[in-house]
């Protein structure tokens, strides 16, 4: 990576990530595809950058990657102490309350990143998404073939939800407060006569709450976390009305 040509190529990829010309994952032929070469460029960016002091009086930081700037021109509202790293794309209309968006992430237009929410490296967040207070969206750089967390358009993620290990939240889904999802989490649709199990993915317009299932261990039977799909968000031309109905009808805490 000492070659000037290699370093220039890496810098070019990060610059294009920063303005949204490239993204770590995108929809191709109807399904999400991870672009491993872009993740590799992010990984290779760290070794070629030196540590520098970043002063934003009266604050001081010491890091390899500069902070994202020029939010007025970008059309992004940024409330102190919100931070985004260079190499993250934040689209026009996004509101960042005191929060954090890491390198390689993609946050699409008119999304709310609420107080103390974190958007990890390479996470993909769609349009008109609401990340409520304290939401934790995990990052992923290694292995390079691993999928990032993906949240599709119009989803509502309730307070203190934790989404990691490449889980995908379908379009217009509603997650109640404290839902935790990993790649191996049990996701069970309990809205019908028989349970239907999913893994790693919340279907579109699902209304989800935290739950539990009984699991046997050598020391006995214990409850382990699960996510329960208890209904569907109504199809509606007015998404705000649809969201309010979903929250009210299912007594969802957000």
Dist. CA 197–CA 13, nearest whole Å: 39
* Residue 175, pLDDT score: 96
Per-residue pLDDT of 115-151, as tens digits, reads 999 999 999 999 999 999 999 999 998 888 889 999 9
8 A C-beta contact, residue 246 and residue 252: yes
SS3 59: strand
CA 98 to the chain's CA centroid: 16
Dist. CA 165–CA 181, nearest whole Å: 8
> What is the pLDDT averaged over residues 87-109?
98
* Residue 56, pLDDT score: 85
Dist. CA 122–CA 201, nearest whole Å: 18
SS3 43: helix
Domain ranges of the chain: 67-249
* Residue 79, pLDDT score: 97
* Residue 226, pLDDT score: 96
* Residue 194, pLDDT score: 96
Per-residue pLDDT of 184-237, as tens digits, reads 999 999 999 999 999 999 999 999 999 999 999 999 999 999 999 999 988 765
Give the pair of three-digit tokens for residue 97: 């309350």
> Which sign does the torsion angle of CA 216, 222, 225, 226 carry?
positive
> What is the pLDDT averaged over residues 104-109?
98
- Whether 244 has a pLDDT exceeding 80, the answer reads no
> What is the pLDDT averaged over residues 61-68?
95
Higher pLDDT, 10 or 246: 10
CA 155 to the chain's CA centroid: 11
Q: Which residue has the tokens 């990993």?
A: 182
- Looking at the whole model, is its pTM more than 0.85? yes
* Residue 61, pLDDT score: 94
Q: Report whether the peptide linkage leading into residue 70 is cis, meaning its omega lies within 30 degrees of zero.
A: no
Closest CA to 107 of 95, 85, 125, 84: 125
Which CATH architecture describes the domain 67-249?
Answer: 3 Solenoid (2.160)
């Amino acid at each position: 990576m000492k070659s000037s040509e290699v370093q220039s190529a890496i810098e070019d990829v990060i610059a294009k990530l920063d303005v949204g010309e490239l993204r770590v994952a995108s929809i191709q032929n109807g399904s999400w595809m991870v672009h491993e070469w872009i993740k590799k460029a992010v990984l290779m960016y760290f070794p070629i950058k030196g540590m520098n002091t970043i002063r934003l009086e009266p604050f001081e930081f010491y890091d390899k990657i500069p902070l994202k700037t020029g939010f007025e021109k970008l059309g992004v509202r940024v409330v102190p102490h919100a931070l985004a790293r260079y190499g993250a794309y934040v689209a026009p209309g996004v509101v960042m309350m005191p929060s954090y968006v890491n390198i390689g992430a993609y946050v699409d237009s008119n999304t709310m990143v609420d107080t103390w929410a974190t958007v990890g490296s390479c996470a993909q967040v769609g349009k008109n998404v609401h990340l409520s207070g304290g939401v934790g969206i995990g990052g992923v750089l290694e292995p390079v073939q691993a999928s990032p967390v993906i949240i599709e358009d119009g989803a509502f993620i309730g307070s203190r939800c934790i989404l990691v290990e490449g889980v995908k939240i379908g379009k217009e889904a509603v997650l109640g407060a404290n839902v935790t999802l990993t790649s191996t989490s049990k996701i069970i649709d309990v809205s019908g006569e028989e349970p239907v199990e999913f893994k790693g993915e919340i279907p579109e317009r699902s209304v989800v709450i935290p739950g539990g299932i009984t699991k046997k261990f050598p020391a006995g039977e214990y409850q382990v976390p699960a996510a329960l799909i208890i209904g569907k968000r109504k199809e509606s031309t007015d998404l705000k009305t649809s969201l309010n109905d979903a929250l009210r009808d299912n007594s969802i805490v957000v």
